[in-house]
Structure 1
């Protein structure tokens, strides 16, 4: 079953226009759903539709994701995501929120909870702890100057990268489903409808 849609809203953080999906029910306790790195807020639609009767569900698009604005320099340090989440909570004026989050969203939410424990009633973080101790050890074995040279090279490579373009929506949908074979056809279509942007 395709979930019914939320309203599309915006807020500002560090002069960026950021988007969030608001599922209504403003008198209910607030529940913020924070998506992962290669995702967008509408990935939570099936979860949100199940919870909206008991919660005021808000699902933000992280900066550079979904319908939120990109940064001018293409730089996305984790603490800026934390700041954006903090701004969202502050602008709603909530004393406390419950957060369910995944991956990058989980890392963001856990850092927010660490900074503002009094603001977080409960938190669920799925795969949000960041790199494993083994990955950190490997990273620390790389000399600092090599780390930064690689970072610069990666930034240069990304600067020349173009958006994926498809000749039709059906072509984009086919790729979405091929890359995410666990999705049903209806789920893939729904997510693709909210992920693509029509060019001129």
Structure 2
């Protein structure tokens, strides 16, 4: 089957310029939400598979990738969620499936809490969960003039290859392209300004009692060797979410879209009731 290239453009949503890759056809829509310090590049290996079955919208979140590093946007999960809901409207869809990775999982869960009628199915890949808000001292320190230099130094202590080594189980998959693409945000000054605002504004992850109110059917997919968000988080989420199932992959780390794209695709189809 011939696979078309995605359109690449910028869209303005709530006065924020967002980089977007999309392909609209007569197939059901699916929204892809990346995680912390990442971009739509996270999904590069599953997009060619997904677009055979879905219309695709993949957006770089404010502060990340090629999107605007706004100094007015309030970088909370709730605001991210509202912005993604507006993206769905922008493309003319009444509702959508969502595939979300890592921090994107919390954004997707907030979307399901705020507007459950807009979400058909959730597929959460190594979703963050149960993290508390930044400590008060860190939030206060973020207003100090030199704080940006402190954050820059802290992140830069380890090179990109080291950070990639932390998200992969199979280290042989790490190549120059990955190092280059995942290193791009770290070279942008605006990234650090946005990161500081995320430290200030990010509320804690949804509490168990909030998760228990989410009725959207949810598939949790985890790498058993995930060192960033351990599989124990997935085991807790599947207990707290009323309609959830957990699937784990052996010998797989945090970035499962890179390590197991075909399996992820297969499980997405099963969860969204497609025939294989």
The answer, yes or no, to whether TM exceeds 0.5 is yes
| Structure 1 residues 190 and 27: alpha-carbon distance in aligned structure 2, compared to 1, 3 A threshold | farther
Poorly superposed stretches of 4+, deviation over 6 Å: none
Paired residues in the alignment total 176
1:176 to 149, 160, 172: 160
* Alignment CA distance shift 1:28-1:130 (3 Å): same
Equivalent residue of 1:130, what SS?
coil
Retained in 1: the 8 A contact 2:164–2:179? no
1:114-153 equivalences under 5 Å are 114-128=113-127, 130-131=129-130, 147-153=135-141
TM-score by length of 1: 0.73
The Cα of 1:178 is off from its aligned counterpart by 3.6
Tell me the TM-score normalized by structure 2.
0.55
Q: Any residues of structure 2 matched to 1:84-163 within 5 Å, and which?
A: 84-128=83-127, 130-131=129-130, 147-156=135-144, 157-160=146-149
Structure 2 unpaired stretches of 5+: 154-158, 189-276
Higher RCO (Cα < 8 Å, 6 or more apart): 2
- Once the two structures are TM-superposed, the CA of residue 4 in structure 1 deviates from its matched residue by 8.3
> Which stretch has the larger CA shift, 84-93 or 72-81?
72-81
Distance in 1 between the 2:73 and 2:148 partners? 8
Q: How do 1:13-32 residues align onto structure 2 when only pairs under 5 Å count?
A: 13-22=13-22, 24-32=23-31
Query: What is the alpha-carbon distance in structure 2 between the residues aligned to residue 77 and residue 158 of structure 1?
Result: 20
Partner of 2:35: 36
Match of 1:8 in 2: 8
Gaps in structure 1 of 5+ consecutive residues: 140-146, 165-174
